[in-house]
């Protein structure tokens, strides 16, 4: 198999037919020896049914149906594990990233044979001011805290050699941050500026974005623990200093209320710092419990291919 194309399905019904048509047209300009793998991530609409109908007339189409919704990153990794091609093209199916990018990436990789990965980045992040600002802030914080650096405004779309895909599918953590894993794996990678279309709504809610942010930080950096340790020591010293100050003030001025102030202030500082430190430790410990259980990252319910029909 020369080429594998991997994408995920979640609320993809409005654009799945166009995606398959454009993806096939692009792939066939490169080779006839390819497969198009669609991973249904428990989509609540009729994405799976539409994909199955399309498969009846498309021998290149392979559909992986997960038992429920496991998440975008998890579904993408499941698709990569199924890929057999010497080159693997990963792209979202929502048409925000043009399927025709396969041709651009392919031509560039043929010109630079030492390349293992070409991945897309946005020159200007899409969306409103909040999405742009929060995205910009995320990359600043992550790259500041982590020894692994990721490109600002990196996208899902990328063309990879099989050796690189085999490397990233060896990562078995259940709390996935795929961009971090892909950067951590190394190899010769090159960013490629692309234009990404914007859609009015996204399945990534604010809660999901916050959860992903915490996963990113706790998976690739222990620096917050060092900062919290330093902050805890500072607050403790500040509390002791406050106690001494008010104690000396009470001795000089012969007042008893200053001692009460000191005790309350010190107690507040210490309790607050302990709660903050405990909460941060919990963010690191909780993923460890998940990893120890060794539950499967995804569960594949059915794999549909033309050979089964």
Judge whether 279 lies within some domain. Answer: yes
* Same domain? 96 vs 192: yes
Judge whether 146 lies within some domain. Answer: yes
CATH of the domain at 81: 3.90.550.10
* Same domain? 175 vs 280: no
Number of domains in the chain: 2
* Same domain? 231 vs 163: no
Model pLDDT for residues 78-136, shown as the tens digit of each residue: 999 999 999 999 999 888 888 999 999 999 888 888 889 998 888 766 666 556 666 66
* Same domain? 48 vs 196: yes
Q: Which residues contact 194 (CB under 8 A, 6 or more apart)?
A: 97, 98, 101, 104, 120, 121, 122, 155, 157
Give the pLDDT of residue 160.
93
* Same domain? 37 vs 167: yes
Which structural domain range is residue 12 located in?
3-204
* Same domain? 196 vs 135: yes
Judge whether 24 lies within some domain. Answer: yes
* Same domain? 237 vs 134: no
* Same domain? 16 vs 93: yes
* Same domain? 136 vs 267: no
Model pLDDT for residues 179-225, shown as the tens digit of each residue: 778 887 888 888 888 877 765 555 555 566 666 666 666 666 666 66
Model pLDDT for residues 251-302, shown as the tens digit of each residue: 666 655 555 666 666 666 666 666 666 666 666 666 665 667 677 888 889 8
Residue 88 near residue 162, CB atoms below 8 Å: yes
Distances (CA, A) of 148 to 46, 112, 141, 161, 269: 39, 25, 12, 21, 34
Task: Examine the fold and report which residue of 204, 239, 264 is the final residue of a domain before the chain moves on.
Answer: 204
Give the pLDDT of residue 70.
86
Question: Which tokens hold the place of 212?
Answer: 């992903």
């Amino acid at each position: 198999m020369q080429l594998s194309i991997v994408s995920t399905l979640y609320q993809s019904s409005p654009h799945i037919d166009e995606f398959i048509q454009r993806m096939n047209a692009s792939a066939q300009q490169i080779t006839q020896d390819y497969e198009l793998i669609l991973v249904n991530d428990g989509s609540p609409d009729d994405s799976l049914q539409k994909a199955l109908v399309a498969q009846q007339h498309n021998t290149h189409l392979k559909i992986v149906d997960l038992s429920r919704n496991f998440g975008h990153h998890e579904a993408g990794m499941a698709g990569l594990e199924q890929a057999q091609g010497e080159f693997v093209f990963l792209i979202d199916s929502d048409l925000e990233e043009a399927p025709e990018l396969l041709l651009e990436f392919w031509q560039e990789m043929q010109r630079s044979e030492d390349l293992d990965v070409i991945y897309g980045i946005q020159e200007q992040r899409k969306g409103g001011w909040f999405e742009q600002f929060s995205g910009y802030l995320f990359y600043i914080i992550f790259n500041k805290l982590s020894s692994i650096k990721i490109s600002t405004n990196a996208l899902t779309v990328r063309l990879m050699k099989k050796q690189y895909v085999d490397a990233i599918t060896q990562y078995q953590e259940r709390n996935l941050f795929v961009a971090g894993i892909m950067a951590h794996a190394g190899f010769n990678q090159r960013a490629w500026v692309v234009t990404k279309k914007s859609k009015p709504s996204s399945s990534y809610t604010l809660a999901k974005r916050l959860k992903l942010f915490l996963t990113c930080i706790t998976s690739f950096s222990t620096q917050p623990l060092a900062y919290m340790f330093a902050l805890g020591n500072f607050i403790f010293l500040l509390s002791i200093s406050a106690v001494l100050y008010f104690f000396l003030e009470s001795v000089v001025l012969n007042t008893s209320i200053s001692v009460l102030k000191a005790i309350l202030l010190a107690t507040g500082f210490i309790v607050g710092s302990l709660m903050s430190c405990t909460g941060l430790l919990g963010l690191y410990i909780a993923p460890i419990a998940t990893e120890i259980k060794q539950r499967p990252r995804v569960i594949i319910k059915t794999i549909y291919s033309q050979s089964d029909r």
